[in-house]
Structure 1
Amino acid sequence: MVPYSQNIPGTEIEFEMIPVPGDPYRKIQPFWIGKFEVTLREYREYAAMYSVFKADRTRPDFTEPDRVDAVSAPTEVYNPQDRFAGAESLQCPAYSMTLFAAKQYTKWLSLLTDRPYRLPLESEWIKACKAGGTGYFWKDDQLRKLAFFNLETEGVQPVGSKAPNPLGIYDMQGNVSEWVITSFPTGRPGREERPSTKHSEVLPPVWIAKGGNFASRLEECLPAHRFTITEDEWDEEATFPNSVTWLGSYSDRTKIGFRVVRQLGELDKVEMSKFWDVANPSYDELIEFKLESGRGARGSVDKETFGKMKDASENMQAWID
């Protein structure tokens, strides 16, 4: 396993992936993880798919895609200058999306590249964050070399602005928190499977973000700390934009982003569905209801998509002035 760069097909955008050794004792397989958090520039290409999927649905030959091949894209951001007011450029980490939207981004990316991308399990995230050390005894001056935290800045900063950790991974702590997976569906109604992680007692309806953000205290940035959101808090979703894939007005939730992991092996869409889909059946029903009522759009990602992506991105409103 070596570092590599991945192009997002249909664009000129590339991102870098860093290998992380496995841990047989904790049943963690080797994996690659994003050198940086997913940026607004990268995420914007996924968000542009809303107009592609919406236009596709008006075609006379349109057929509803099979669930395993379908990707959900968010509605347009109502006011990007307000939503991303703290970001100075598209090189800032993407933030202010739900766990569902982050998972759908990884599905979109996987289907475009034919590679198995997903969010990290919490155990994988901790492994990458510690980078071979314990990570629990960092002091303020040590962490400031790696992270923006404790209101050193008033908003998110471009990725890679601080030093990398010993594995060459940037911004694992501070700046924005990062979504992780703590459980996933088994295919049995109402049942979830717990992945191998020291925090395996946590199941939905609790969602977990790691690493702290630019406003977090030092202890909130350490590998063991969790930022949790309950199912009830999703009901506070903002009216604008009218989409289940964007967060509400609660300030801490606007400081969550994510980075991607690539696991070993070839892309198996059925197997990967447990990482892309929603673990909580009631939340899955809510997403279906909102998609049917026009919140977001669902469509297929294939070679025909490549040609449409550029036009959709160019015609989309600017996110950062």
Structure 2
Amino acid sequence: MLRLLDFAFRSQFAITVGLTVACSFSSNSALADATATLPLGITANQPAEGASVALDNGTFMVPYTQKIPGTDIEFEMIPVPGGEFTMGTSEDADGFVEDEGPTVKVKVAPMWVAKTETRWDMYKEYMRMYSVFKEFEARGIRPVSEDNQADAVTAPTELYDPSFTFEYGEAADQPAVTMTQYAAQQFTKWLSRISDVQYRLPTEAEWEYAARAGTTTAYSWGDDAGDIEEYAWYFDNSLEGPGVVGTKKPNPFGLYDMHGNAAEWTINEYTENGYQWMVDEQPVDATAAARFPTNPYPCVARGGSWEMDPPELRSAARLASNDEDWKEEDPNFPRSPWWFTSDPSRGVGFRLFRSLKDLPQETIVQFWEPLPEETKMDVESRVTEGRSGYGLVDENLPGEAAKLKE
């Protein structure tokens, strides 16, 4: 049984902890053996201050900062305790929207969640892979074949008209936006394979749990939208674009911009009847509540953006993607699998999540790769025409890419 000890924000929320979680190492091993090779974000000793989550074997999940290999770019991950929560909005609640019900109780395993949304400085490193992979291909370096393609990713093509995507800013500390769900998936695969740490998009249930942070109100600070100025970048206070990440108040878990700034991709397909499928299927926990898309759209982004009004920023609010509308100004055919061109896509980004225990290969591949055949065909079309390509991604990639500059 997991237990919470001295979590920095314990006084601000109440969580029912009742979930047994397998750790990344054997619970039968002596603590000294288990801590000899602790995973990133696990420590043998409880920190004197700050967030920590106690595990059965006597170790602790703690915040950690990771550098993207080959760069000086860093991002921070925050430990989020496991528990149980009620997902969605009850029918008698103010502002109820039909696709936010029926409510369903969901168990959640401990996880790490990025302190902020994925920033432009992070995403542009992934964008840089387009020229790197093309150069590899031209030089016959790290060739991709049917035998190793499972280790490869695609990089987003260069923006056809950067002035649209970057009209409201491309500062290093602003949230990266306008990428498709597929592009966000590939970013998490790229980062995971070069860092050897398993990152991914969240399920809807995981995202809402992280956003609520133990609260049951419309927003993580309460029901009063009048307080939104302190916590979120939204339409009335952000007419010139998204704000710098992490400059508003965090939620009780210490996560910034869960409301507003950029709406954040989840892995889930959008369902008009809300969570009836979860009521029917009873997934064992929030991670198992992944509803992998069978079509390119609609998929679900959460949290609302700087372009939206307070009701669209509630913890339970859902945004359904629409590729036809969001790619309306894309002059390419087929339209880009990596980029959107039309609002509200300038307010859509994503945040990194990481499970306490790595997901099995057959599961994580569904978080990293597209299932819709239409998306696969669009990608293959771009590759065949030479407008994109695959690149092998592993811990040696940053060093090989650096050699191109020599």
Q: Same fold (TM over 0.5)?
A: yes
Deviation of 1:169 after TM superposition, in Å, equals 0.5
Mapped partners of 1:199, 1:277: distance in 2: 14
- The one-letter code matched in structure 1 to 2:70 is G
Deviation of 1:232 after TM superposition, in Å, equals 4.2
* Contact 2:305/2:313 (<8 A) preserved: yes
Mapped partners of 1:194, 1:76: distance in 2: 42
* Contact 1:52/1:308 (<8 A) preserved: no
Match of 2:68 in 1: 8
Work out whether 1:247 is the aligned partner of 2:327.
no
Mapped partners of 1:243, 1:201: distance in 2: 20
Which has the larger Rg? 2
Q: Matches of residues 30-49 of structure 1 in structure 2 within 5 Å?
A: 30-49=110-129
* Contact 1:212/1:220 (<8 A) preserved: yes
Q: Secondary structure at the match of 1:208?
A: strand
* Contact 1:212/1:221 (<8 A) preserved: yes
Match of 1:187 in 2: none
Instruction: Kindly provide the CA deviation profile for residues 267-307 of structure 1, in whole angstroms up to 9, marking residues without a partner as x.
Output: 75443101111132232222222232233321101243212
Q: Matches of residues 23-172 of structure 1 in structure 2 within 5 Å?
A: 23=83, 26-60=106-140, 62-64=143-145, 66-87=148-169, 89-136=171-218, 137-153=222-238, 154-172=240-258
Q: Matches of residues 286-301 of structure 1 in structure 2 within 5 Å?
A: 286-301=378-393
* Contact 1:244/1:295 (<8 A) preserved: no
Mapped partners of 1:133, 1:6: distance in 2: 29
* Contact 1:116/1:265 (<8 A) preserved: no
Q: Secondary structure at the match of 1:118?
A: coil
* Contact 1:117/1:261 (<8 A) preserved: yes
Unaligned runs of 5+ in 1: 185-192, 316-321
* Contact 2:293/2:371 (<8 A) preserved: no
Q: Matches of residues 135-284 of structure 1 in structure 2 within 5 Å?
A: 135-136=217-218, 137-153=222-238, 154-182=240-268, 204=295, 205-230=297-322, 232-233=324-325, 236=328, 238-239=330-331, 243-248=336-341, 250-266=342-358, 268-284=360-376
Mapped partners of 1:181, 1:88: distance in 2: 25
Change (3 A) 1:138 1:15: same
- The one-letter code matched in structure 1 to 2:340 is L
Percent of aligned positions with the same letter in both sequences? Answer: 38
* Contact 2:203/2:290 (<8 A) preserved: no
Deviation of 1:210 after TM superposition, in Å, equals 0.7
* Contact 1:114/1:267 (<8 A) preserved: no
Aligned length: 305
Q: Secondary structure at the match of 1:178?
A: strand
Mapped partners of 2:175, 2:131: distance in 1: 23
* Contact 2:263/2:302 (<8 A) preserved: yes
Instruction: Kindly provide the CA deviation profile for residues 217-259 of structure 1, in whole angstroms up to 9, marking residues without a partner as x.
Output: 11100011111123544663613798421112x2101210001
* Contact 2:154/2:391 (<8 A) preserved: yes
- The one-letter code matched in structure 2 to 1:246 is W
* Contact 1:71/1:107 (<8 A) preserved: yes
Mapped partners of 2:387, 2:194: distance in 1: 23
Q: Say what the alpha-carbon RMSD is for the aligned residues.
A: 2.9
Change (3 A) 1:63 1:297: closer
Instruction: Kindly provide the CA deviation profile for residues 31-88 of structure 1, in whole angstroms up to 9, marking residues without a partner as x.
Output: 1010010100000001101111111112346342623201110122344344212126
Q: Which structure exhibits the higher relative contact order, with contacts defined as CA atoms closer than 8 Å and separated by 6 or more residues? A: 1
Q: Secondary structure at the match of 1:117?
A: coil
Mapped partners of 1:203, 1:224: distance in 2: 23
Mapped partners of 2:353, 2:290: distance in 1: 19
